Amino acid sequence: MVMRIGWICVWVCVSGCLGSEQQFVGNETEQGPAGEPGPPGADGAQGPSGEDGAPGADGASGADGLNCWDLDGDGLPGVDEDTNGDGVVDALDCQRTSGGGISKSDIYVVFGPSGGALSTATCADTDDVLLTGGCNRSGVNCLPLTFTDEPRSVDDPTVAASWYCESNCGSVEASAVCLVVN
């Protein structure tokens, strides 16, 4: 059976003519209007990583730093920058001279009494500096726990600085790390 619709001829096979296939033949010079676009498809799987790129060029050099002897940062040697007094401003002026700086022997630790609810560790002299401190708490646990752990007298030059500890249960021992100042 042959049907002609416009320029398109449709051959329809009756059962057994070409098996179960159908064949369409028409004029290939004409095309109908485009249909509406379909919905976007799902994203594909992540592809493999690409190769690393070539290294970039080196950046510009930074500005020169200051010399250790350059106390005022002007880049020029000055009389006050000859700290060792040898008449030359150089790296030897960067060395610590005797009597200056801090050594390990200038730092010491003191402990307050232990076994009670209050403890204070006090630096040996009113000129000494309290660097840090802490509290060791032991004994029973209780709720609510109140606990004080703080420096004391650090701004009063007439009283030696100390570290103070207090707890409402158990016992505490204060410790203070101090720096000798002559």
- The pLDDT value recorded for residue 155 is 85
What average pLDDT does this structure show over 14-26? 46
CA–CA dist 43, 136 (Å, integer): 61
pLDDT at 3 over 50: no
Listed by start position, the domains of the chain span 104-179
Structure tokens at 7: 């320029």
- The pLDDT value recorded for residue 27 is 53
What does the pLDDT look like over 76-115, one tens digit per residue?
Answer: 898 888 888 888 988 888 875 555 667 788 899 999 999 8
The pTM assigned to this predicted structure is 0.45
HSE of 112 in the Cβ direction (CA atoms, 13 Å)?
28
- The pLDDT value recorded for residue 150 is 92
Provide the 10 A C-beta neighbour count for residue 162. Answer: 21
